Amino acid sequence: MLNKNQISVSIGLISVFCILYSAVLGSNGILERRTLENRLNTLREEVERLETENMNLEAKKKFLRDDETALAREARKYYLLSEDSKVIKFKETISNESNDRLFASGLPSSHLKKKDAKEHLPPVNMLKFFYIIGAGAVLIGVFMKFK
């Protein structure tokens, strides 16, 4: 039978393992927080880039709206038009077949994802599994030692 000292050590170890588990691997643990912070930073950078791009496009739109010669120059530049050419405009249909959305910059969203090798972490569920196995092994070892 276990004496009071062995029971208190066992309860203490179980408590320490539970606290460590929730602090590191839990739903509000360090790993989850780091993942969310990285995602937040990525989204902030994206928003900042899009705001800058939006301001540049607004300035260009205003410039082209006010200046006919600049508008004609842009049309010749991008659409390879000569000065005496005519523009025929067709109605466009937008297809949403692709999930890879194109932004105003023309880049697919897959190019915006960062691929940092240093931030590569194994899945949290795998870490939880090995943590539980290790904690169980330590607890079994403690009980075997007390016998």
Q: Which of 34-43, 80-89, 95-104, 133-142 has the highest mean pLDDT?
A: 34-43
Residue 145, pLDDT above cutoff 70? yes
Task: Please name the residue that has the structure tokens 């691997």.
Answer: 25
Backbone angles phi, psi at 45, to 5 degrees: -60, -40
| DSSP conformation letters of 33-92 | HHHHHHHHHHHHHHHHHHHHHHHHHHHHHHHHHH-HHHHHHHHHHHH---TT--------
Identify whether the C-beta of residue 130 lies closer than 8 Å to the C-beta of residue 17: no
pLDDT for 117 equals 46
**pLDDT tens by residue, 34-69:** 888 999 999 999 999 999 999 999 988 888 777 777
Which tokens sit at 145? 């030692």
